[in-house]
Structure 1
Amino acid sequence: MNRNDLAEFLRDRRSKVLPHDVGLPGGGPRRTPGLRRQEVAQLAGMSVDYYIRLEQARGPHPSRQVLQALSRALMLTGDERAHLFNLACEAPVQPSAGPRQDVPPGILRLLSQMEEVPAYVVDARYEILAWNTMASALMCGLESVPVGHRNVVRWVFTHPGLPEHMSSELSSRFARLCVADLRAAAARYPGDRGIKDLVAEMLALSPDFARLWAAHEVAVRRDQPKRLEHPVVGPVDVVCQVLDVPDRDQRLVVYTVEPGSPSMAALRRLRETAAAGSAPVYVPGPA
């Protein structure tokens, strides 16, 4: 049980729930935004002293019933509820050795057979483990990036060309989702050195990452639209489909486009360009 992180998460979520959100009167001026500790305890059906001790990282291990009650009182989303349970070690956590990096053979075959659709596989650390030719062409040469640096989070927050590659609004939304998803992964793998090192690196290098990490948002990454600006074929509007790879905590990320759209024509031009130097799916070893 990570008492400090659990306490910090509870304090942060409490500050984001307003009295009228849960049917309570405002009660006059408040020193800080959000609910009072007494109100959370009342809503969760527990003593104020017990809840205060949880927020001060000195309380007993909360039961599943207590966690359920806190989830309801703080109006947690499904992803936030899962994160709360992970922090309290009441939800299954992955081995401390860290996320697996061996991509199943069936997924590798699928990648190689997806000739018209850009697709790649990432693990819980956002390391890109495997990709097809179209993904490399769309992302301007994944195979040229050194092993250990093919990381989506690192690219989003440190790549100097990102504003030219992705619209600013979508870039900001994507960055926010990446950080929220990485925080959820950090709770699933509390002992993973790779995630800890990535977070420390980004906190040191990127004020934007530090601001988003401090917000304590938790969300598992799901489908979303993107507009990519490619230097050869121009703008490409895609929907980023995120598919879970069973038993690996990996995701198959597939970029789809509207049939008959200019974006589909752009991908076909990109495929023709890539065909001249077509490369097989690349699978790096463990970084």
Structure 2
Amino acid sequence: MSDELRRQELADFLRTRRMRLSPEQVGLIGGGRRRTPGLRREEVAHLANVGVSWYTLLEQGRDVHPSREVLQSIADALQLTSAERQHLFLLADQPPLIDTLGSDEQVSPALRRVLDALHPVPAYIVGRRWNFLAWNTTAEHVLRLSRTAAAPYAYNVVWRIFTDPTARPIHHQPTWEQVAQKVLAEFRADSARFADEEWFTLLVADLQRVSPEFRAWWPRHDVRGRADALKDFVHPVVGRLIFEHTTLQVPDMPDLKLMIHTPVPGTGTQEKLQQLMNQDAVMTAMPSPS
């Protein structure tokens, strides 16, 4: 989208959001009959604590550059929804909003049902903090995830790669070093969005303390985007598993990533997964020792 078109889209969006509100909805006195529906520009400017002339220029599509704080004030004044706020920031050529309170770390029941429906294909959800948030039974066995882990970083992808001794032998091709460097570069690319958050600072400090590899590689500042690729694992029970890895984004919570490992045909992976799940079913059905 060109800058001119983007500014016009922003102007139209603000105007339509303003026109749908009545003075009473925002705590203002109606002031009698109005020629056009909705709030007046000066009323929005008053509610957002910005200048009337400046706000008028914004609604006219002029080349003005509102700060993130001003956009938040305008969004509050216009009573925008979460999706509308994201849209406002994008039209204003600002980075999308990031929820620092962590509500994006919640997985809805609908998403959990999606994970279950994908069984026996391993699938899981990773959040903005690079934590495993939810997974299906197959992913639990393939990735050896525990639902009762108590350690502070037990579900963090980066922590597991660099500190879990079981993570090293599981990777067949590429090697653990190649996988770890790839994960670190992707994590580093994300870090610009939350580098000033306490959880990130603590995680990096603790990783530097316990992992010589992380300590050596982190200062390199290597970055890369996430890309789908083959995943080649060696499972301690059923042996080699080869998957096509696909990442899907959750539309209304874009910081949640749905990761799907689809067995590659002709590699025996599907059959080995079924064998693994059959063994689990047998173990589950066995009575516990008295």
Q: Identify the TM-score tier after normalising by the shorter chain.
A: 0.5 to 0.7
Deviations 1:125-150 (A, max 9, x none): 21110010001111224224326411
The TM-score normalised by the length of structure 2 is 0.60
Match among 197, 205, 218 for residue 213 of structure 1: 218
Deviations 1:38-93 (A, max 9, x none): xxxxxxxxxxxxxxxxxxxxxxxxxx9xxxxxxxxxxxxxxxxxxxxxxxx95335
For the residue of structure 2 that corresponds to 1:238, the secondary structure is strand
Deviations 1:107-136 (A, max 9, x none): 111011122101111112211100100011
Q: Which residue does the alignment assign to 1:133?
A: 137
- Cα distance in 2 for partners of 1:169, 1:154 equals 19
- Cα distance in 2 for partners of 1:181, 1:102 equals 22
Unaligned stretches of 5+ residues in structure 2: 1-64, 66-92, 285-290
| Structure 1 residue 274 corresponds to structure 2 residue 280 | yes
Q: Which residue does the alignment assign to 2:110?
A: 106
Task: Kindly report the root-mean-square deviation, in angstroms, between the aligned alpha carbons of the 2 structures.
Answer: 2.5
Residues 174 and 232, structure 2, Cα contact 8 Å, conserved in 1: no
| Structure 1 residue 119 corresponds to structure 2 residue 119 | no
From the superposition, tell whether residues 220 and 98 of structure 1 become closer, same or farther in structure 2 (CA, over 3 Å): farther
Match among 250, 254, 270 for residue 256 of structure 2: 250
Match among 229, 232, 235 for residue 234 of structure 2: 229
- Cα distance in 2 for partners of 1:261, 1:218 equals 32
For the residue of structure 2 that corresponds to 1:269, the secondary structure is helix
- Cα distance in 2 for partners of 1:277, 1:110 equals 25
Q: How many pairs are equivalent? A: 192
Q: Which residue does the alignment assign to 2:203?
A: 198
Q: Which residue does the alignment assign to 1:174?
A: 179
Q: What letter corresponds to residue 154 of structure 1 in structure 2?
A: W
Q: Which residue does the alignment assign to 1:19?
A: none
For the residue of structure 1 that corresponds to 2:261, the secondary structure is strand
| Structure 1 residue 262 corresponds to structure 2 residue 262 | no
Unaligned stretches of 5+ residues in structure 1: 1-63, 65-88, 279-287
- Cα distance in 1 for partners of 2:248, 2:216 equals 28
Q: What letter corresponds to residue 168 of structure 2 in structure 1?
A: P
- Cα distance in 2 for partners of 1:246, 1:99 equals 15
- Cα distance in 1 for partners of 2:193, 2:243 equals 30
Q: Which residue does the alignment assign to 2:52?
A: none
Q: Which residue does the alignment assign to 1:160?
A: 165
Deviations 1:215-264 (A, max 9, x none): 21222322122221111111111122221222330111111112243122
- Cα distance in 2 for partners of 1:139, 1:193 equals 28
Shift of 1:171: 2.2
Residues 99 and 123, structure 1, Cα contact 8 Å, conserved in 2: no
- Identify which of structures 1 and 2 has the higher relative contact order when contacts are C-alpha pairs closer than 8 Å and 6+ apart: 1
Shift of 1:208: 1.4
Shift of 1:277: 5.6
Q: Which residue does the alignment assign to 1:16?
A: none
Shift of 1:204: 1.4
